[in-house]
Structure 1
Amino acid sequence: MNDAIDSRFLELHRVRARGAHRDLGRALGRWGAEACHRHLVRSDAWAQVMACRDRPEIPAMRALLHAAFPWIEEELAGLAEGLELPPDEVFLWNSRGDLWALAPDGCTTVLAPRRLSHNEDGDPGFAGACGLLEAQPAGAPAFAAFVYPGSLPGHTFAVNASGLAMTVNNIRARRAEAGMPRMALTRALLAAGSAREAVSILQAHPRMGAFHLGLGQAGQAQTWSVEFSRTAVSVRLVAGAPLLHANHAIHEAQQALPQVITASSAHRQARGEALLAQDVPALAILTDTEDAAEPILRRSPADTDQENTLATADIDLSGPIARWAVYAPGATAPHHRFEGLRRL
Structure 2
Amino acid sequence: MLTQLHIAGNAFELGRRLGEFGRQSVHGKLRRLPLWQHLASLADTDKARQMKALVRERYPRYWQEIEGLAAGLELTVDEVFMWNCRGDFPGLVSVDGCTTVFGQAEQGTLIAHNEDGLPQLRGDCAIVHAKPEEGAAFISFVYPGSIPGHTFAVNEFGVVATVNNIRPIDIPVGVPRMILGRASLDARTVDEAIAAISPMPRAGAFHHAFGQAGSARVVSVEATSDGVVVREIEASTGHSNHLVDSSFRDFKQIVTGSSGARQQRVDHLLAGSSRKLDLTLALQILRDEESATLPVYRCAEDDPDDENTLATSIFTLTSSAVEWRVYAHRVTDHPDAQGAVVLIQ
Q: For this structure pair, what is the TM-score category when the shorter chain's length is used for normalisation?
A: over 0.9
Aligned mates of 1:152, 1:173 — CA distance in 2: 22
For structure 2, the 5+ residue unaligned runs are: 275-280
Partner residue, 1:282: 282
SS at match of 2:161: strand
Instruction: State the TM-score, normalizing by the size of structure 1.
Output: 0.93
Aligned mates of 1:298, 1:311 — CA distance in 2: 10
Partner residue, 2:129: 134
Percent identity, aligned pairs only, is: 42
Q: Is the 8 A contact 1:143 1:341 kept in 2?
A: no
Change in CA separation of 1:341 and 1:56 when aligned onto 2, cut-off 3 Å: farther
Partner residue, 2:240: 246
Aligned mates of 2:153, 2:331 — CA distance in 1: 20
Give, as a single letter, the amino acid of the residue that structure 2 aligns with 1:103: S
Partner residue, 1:96: 86
Q: Is the 8 A contact 2:43 2:49 kept in 1?
A: no
Q: Deviations over 1:66-103 (max 9, x none)?
A: 11110000000000000001110000000010014611
For residue 293 of structure 1, report the CA deviation from its aligned partner.
0.7
Instruction: State the TM-score, normalizing by the size of structure 2.
Output: 0.93
For residue 306 of structure 1, report the CA deviation from its aligned partner.
0.2
Give, as a single letter, the amino acid of the residue that structure 2 aligns with 1:285: I
Of residues 256, 263, 277 in structure 2, which corresponds to 1:262?
256
Q: Is the 8 A contact 2:183 2:197 kept in 1?
A: no
For residue 27 of structure 1, report the CA deviation from its aligned partner.
0.5
Change in CA separation of 1:266 and 1:94 when aligned onto 2, cut-off 3 Å: same
Give, as a single letter, the amino acid of the residue that structure 2 aligns with 1:303: D
Partner residue, 1:6: none
For residue 211 of structure 1, report the CA deviation from its aligned partner.
0.2
For residue 168 of structure 1, report the CA deviation from its aligned partner.
0.4
SS at match of 1:178: coil
Q: Which deviates more from structure 2 when the two are superposed, residues 39-48 or residues 266-275?
A: 39-48
Partner residue, 1:315: 315
Aligned mates of 2:229, 2:331 — CA distance in 1: 34
For residue 125 of structure 1, report the CA deviation from its aligned partner.
1.1
Q: Which deviates more from structure 2 when the two are superposed, residues 101-110 or residues 129-138?
A: 101-110
Aligned mates of 1:331, 1:154 — CA distance in 2: 27
Partner residue, 1:203: 198
In the alignment, does 2:343 pair up with 1:338? Answer: no
Q: Is the 8 A contact 1:159 1:341 kept in 2?
A: no
The size of the alignment, in residue pairs, is 331
In the alignment, does 2:287 pair up with 1:292? Answer: no
Aligned mates of 1:141, 1:255 — CA distance in 2: 36
Q: Is the 8 A contact 1:119 1:312 kept in 2?
A: yes
Aligned mates of 1:326, 1:169 — CA distance in 2: 17
SS at match of 2:197: helix
Of residues 153, 160, 185 in structure 1, which corresponds to 2:155?
160
Partner residue, 1:56: 46
Aligned mates of 2:94, 2:110 — CA distance in 1: 28
Change in CA separation of 1:334 and 1:314 when aligned onto 2, cut-off 3 Å: farther
In the alignment, does 2:79 pair up with 1:85? Answer: no
Give, as a single letter, the amino acid of the residue that structure 1 aligns with 2:312: T
In the alignment, does 2:144 pair up with 1:144? Answer: no
Aligned mates of 2:45, 2:81 — CA distance in 1: 13
For structure 1, the 5+ residue unaligned runs are: 1-10
Give, as a single letter, the amino acid of the residue that structure 2 aligns with 1:195: V
Give, as a single letter, the amino acid of the residue that structure 1 aligns with 2:314: D
Of residues 164, 167, 170 in structure 2, which corresponds to 1:169?
164
Kindly report the root-mean-square deviation, in angstroms, between the aligned alpha carbons of the 2 structures. Answer: 1.5
Q: Deviations over 1:100-155 (max 9, x none)?
A: 46111100000112110000000111100100000000021100000000000010
